[in-house]
Homo-oligomer: A and B are copies of this chain.
Amino acid sequence: MITTPIVPRVSETDGAGHINNVFVPIWFEAGRREIFRILTPDLDFARWRIALVNMNVDYEAQIFFQQDAEVRTWIERVGTKSFTVGEEIWQSGRRCARGTTVYVYFNYDIQKSEPIPNDIAEGLSRLSPPEL
């Protein structure tokens, strides 16, 4: 599991006074940096190899501007051509959001999905879920 600290920004709040819901996917993506590095070690977009195909988020509690937050990120499943990321946002000992995001391994040059290479599948598998 990867943990990524997030300090909420004023620009991420909304008129209802809390962190706006659209910033949850943004924080989740911020939490995937080390996953991106497994796929593209130098993080060069010219060698980017994944495309996002599904995102599902449960919003469980309001996220406040005033306190630091944490994104928890792990690999839920590695398939032949796709994998699922599990992710949560915590704040003050409370889980505020949880989600899953599915990526396919994708060759942008030929615009087709491809099998995930073995070494990458192994690297992803090492990011195991939090223990219950």
A residues sitting closer than 8 Å to B (CB atoms) are: 4, 7, 9-11, 13-18, 20-23, 25-26, 29-30, 33, 36, 42-45, 48, 51-59, 62, 65-66, 108
Contact = CB atoms under 8 A, between A and B. Distances in A.
A7 to B, nearest CB: 7
Given A15-B45, A59-B52, A20 B30 contact: no
B15 A26 contact: no
In the assembly, how many copies of this chain are there? Answer: 4
Contact of A7 (B30, B45, B59, B108): B30
Contacts of A42: 66
B33 A7 contact: yes
Contacts of A13: 14-15, 20, 45
29 contacts: A4-B7, A7-B33, A9-B26, A10-B15, A10-B36, A11-B23, A11-B29, A13-B45, A14-B14, A14-B15, A14-B45, A15-B45, A16-B48, A16-B108, A21-B29, A21-B52, A21-B55, A22-B29, A42-B66, A43-B65, A43-B66, A45-B65, A51-B59, A52-B59, A53-B59, A54-B59, A55-B55, A55-B56, A56-B56
